[in-house]
Chain A
Amino acid sequence: MSKGVKMADEKKLMKALADAILSYDSAAAEAAAKEAIKRGLDPLEAIEKGLSPAIEEVGKKFEKMEIYLPELMLAADAMRSSMSLLLPLIPKGKALSKGTVVIGTVQGDIHEIGKNIVSNMLMANGFEVVDLGVDVKTSAFVDEARKSNAKIIGASALMSSTIGSQKDIVDYLTSMKVRKKHAVMVGGGPTTGEWSKEIGADGWGEDAATTVKLANRLVKRK
């Protein structure tokens, strides 16, 4: 229990955080996080006991086809609204991030919606995400991954004319002799599991939900 917060209050604050996620309400999530901070709730506990079980419940509803992608995105947005206030208050070393993912759409390609969905979902599921945007040079993916000590690089491509850049990222990592430091996951319309294997990537995300599962596997592997 957080110091100085009564059990009944703590329950109420946790419930407000969870309810905000379960009702896909970003404004409520922000307000609940502010209230929790004001009332002295331990931010780590707020995330672990308030927000995380709620986002897990949303994930389960999605698995059972009770909700669709738009609800999942809204829940992720609400999660981020709370997390952006709570995370900075957690002392370094105590952070609960699963690891950093550097993500972007490859060079020559400006399609970003799929990448943004994945980026949001990864954040909501406890990853730190550095989103480099669109039309990202191969070297920029690798430089950022090295700088932020990212466990994973996520490369998105929507056109058959640009998926070759995903291979370039793998090759570049190999040539820099840092291939084992950063797992590479690829995704986007024309990509396939076979393509991922062929270029020596570490996995293929068919959609946002499977990409989060893939990222969970890849960070455990390290």
Chain B
Amino acid sequence: MSSFAERFRVMEPKDFIKDSDRKKIHSAALDVMETTGVKVLSAVARESLKRAGAVVDEKTNIVSFPTDLVESLLKKIPSKIVLAGRTEEYDLPLDRRHQYHTTDGCGISVWDNKAQTRRESTLEDIRKTAVLSDWLPYLSIYEPMVVAHDMPSKSHVLMGLKTAMENTSKHIETESTTTADEARAQVEMAAAVVGSKDELKERHYLSAMVCTVSPLILDGGATDAAMVWAENHVPVHITGMASMGLTGPATVAGSLVVNHAETMALACAMQAHEPCSPILYGSVQSSMDPRTGAYNSGAPETILISIGDVEMAKYLGLPCSAGGIGGSARIPGLRVSIENSILTSPLVTAGSEVMNGIGLADGSTLLSYEQMMLDHEIVALALNSQRDIEINDETLALDVIKKVGIGKNYLSEMHTVKRVRDFYLPMLWDMSPFEAWVEGGKKDLMEVAGEKASKVISEHKPEKLDAEVSRTLTKVVDDF
């Protein structure tokens, strides 16, 4: 296993919902799937489900899922997979003992910290954030972070993906695919990077987020794309977003039922279409703002419901990419950081394996380079505080304790020299005295973070993508 992945090894996840209660949520969702059904707006998915034995009403597009069918289709999903990097060094095993964070994706504007305002996002922001992500040691997965408004709308997703592939060696998750053709083009691009389409089925270099439309709808274009992802064994993060009180019931348990039903519906459609295609139990659920109905990602209820999603992933024995960070504050800085700090730790403890999304504020719409650095620090702290506590002869250090004896210290012991390297040191701040801060220009943390990001972006040189592969990517984009 690569040393990169070992950085993300954490202690055994803790259970927050007992198995009998997980079963109640599961049974309620099965009931909804069979009696209420799920509207499936993709003809390809409906056809595959019908062939597998689901009851399809072609007039309403509502699919009723018999429980036996659901249970048998779910059994086909691989329980453990590896999300691959462009190079093996960045491979990420999903085995319940490693936890990874992604960048957030699909923002539409960028924070200008000096002017305290925002501007429209461009392709250059995707390049810069990909370079920065390539460098950030506790960031595992890159999602193109913004929409490239300066690119033609038809090909902006592909241009964003190409730019990402060229500027980071880490695993890439694509987010905003809305048609089957767009998915096919991205499969071609990922296949070019790993060698071939067959190779891509084995090395999951690209994964895709597919959102359901709550309550109980699978969108047409995105689900058509999901069928293409399935055919090519591109892992799909099924990402339900039922919001408590608005698109889901106003209780954690009720909204978990809606989300579980949607997740299983898309998982079944994919397994009916392509058995054994890899799936991650996604979900970024929240509560609504009771005053406006808006997505309230920084709320405590978001933590509770995300923990519930992790528990339901465990119940099904599926790889899990539920929850994450991404505060709802309108501007980056203190409030987003507070929200993200609170959001992160419980999910790490519960055992989500892939957590969304560093670097965006305002409900995942506003990119801030400063916030990327702050969020990275937050996830690094959370991960390091959940490291496995090793108990063995070497860590018990009995020899050293006896050698040092009473009243001395352990500073100049070789055991200390070796083990002190494991201590986590923050990257954005140090323990310098007050005077050093004054002499340094009294910079606040946002300023420090912005300077650090700029320095990394200008100095870090990601490993170059093979020129021939780059040309293939260009051709796929141009032909689209």
Interface residues of A (CB under 8 A from B): 62, 65, 68-70, 108, 110-111, 113-114, 117, 159-161, 163-164, 189-190, 192, 194-195, 198, 206-209
Q: Separation in Å of the A71 CB from the closest CB of chain B?
A: 10
Are A111 and B292 interface neighbours, CB within 8 A? no
**Are A69's CB and B247's CB within 8 A?**
no
- Which of A111, A113, A164, A198 touches B293 (beta carbons < 8 Å)? A113
Chain B min CB distance to A214 (Å): 14
Of A113, A160, A194, A207, which is within 8 A of B247 by CB? Answer: A113
Q: Are B213 and A110 in contact (CB under 8 A)?
A: yes
Alpha-carbon separation in the docked complex, A111 to B247 (Å): 11
The CA of A69 and the CA of B219, in the complex, are separated in Å by 27
Task: Write the B208-243 contact mask toward A (1 if CB under 8 angstroms, else 0).
Answer: 000001000101110000000000000000000000
Given the known inter-chain contacts A160-B108, A209-B292, please indicate yes or no for A110 contacting B219, CB distance below 8 A.
Answer: yes
Residues in B with CB closer than 8 Å to A159 are 176, 178
Contact B246 A113 (CB under 8 A): yes
Which residues does chain A contribute within 8 Å of B157, judged by CB atoms? 161
Chain A min CB distance to B168 (Å): 22
B contact residues, range: 20 to 34
The secondary structure that dominates the B interface is loop
Chain B residues in 8 Å Cβ range of A209: 292
CA distance A190 to B41 in the complex (A): 23
Specify which chain B residues have a CB less than 8 angstroms from the CB of A111 in the assembled complex.
Answer: 213
The CA-CA distance from A195 to B295 in the complex, in Å, is: 19
> Contacting A69 at CB < 8 Å: which of B147, B178, B290?
B290
Q: Which residues on A sit within 8 Å (CB–CB) of B219?
A: 110
Given contacts A117-B293, A192-B109, A194-B118, contact A161 B178 (CB under 8 A): yes
A205 to chain B, nearest CB (A): 11
Contact between B294 and A207, CB atoms less than 8 A apart: yes
Whether B176 lies near A160 (C-beta < 8 A) is: yes
- Chain B nearest Cβ from A85, distance in angstroms: 28
The answer for the CA separation of A70 and B291 in the assembled complex, in Å, is: 8
Provide a sorted-by-A list of 22 A–B residue pairs whose CB atoms are within 8 angstroms. Answer: A68-B290, A69-B290, A69-B292, A69-B293, A110-B41, A110-B219, A113-B246, A159-B176, A160-B147, A160-B176, A160-B365, A161-B147, A161-B178, A189-B294, A189-B363, A190-B365, A192-B108, A195-B108, A206-B292, A207-B291, A208-B292, A208-B293
Measured CB to CB, the closest approach of chain A to B347, in angstroms, equals: 23
Interface residues of B in 290-307 (CB under 8 A from A): 290-295
> When A and B form their complex, which 10 residue pairs have the shortest distance between CB atoms, in order from nearest?
A207-B292, A68-B290, A160-B147, A160-B108, A190-B108, A69-B293, A161-B176, A161-B178, A160-B106, A164-B153
Interface pair B363/A65, CB less than 8 Å apart = no
Most buried by A among B118, B220, B221, B290: B290
Closest to A163 in B: B108
Q: Is B245 an interface residue (CB 8 A)?
A: yes
A22 CB to nearest B CB, Å: 19
Interfacial chain A residues near B118, Cβ < 8 Å: 194
Q: Mark B83-114, 1 if CB is under 8 A from A, else 0.
A: 00000000000000000000000101100000
Given A69-B291, A70-B290, A163-B108, 16 other A-B residues pairs in contact with their CB atoms under 8 A: A69-B288, A69-B292, A108-B178, A110-B219, A110-B220, A111-B213, A113-B247, A114-B293, A160-B108, A160-B176, A161-B147, A161-B153, A161-B178, A192-B108, A208-B292, A209-B292
Residue of A nearest to B219 (CB): A110
Q: Considering the complex, give the chain B residue whose CB is closest to the CB of A72.
A: B291
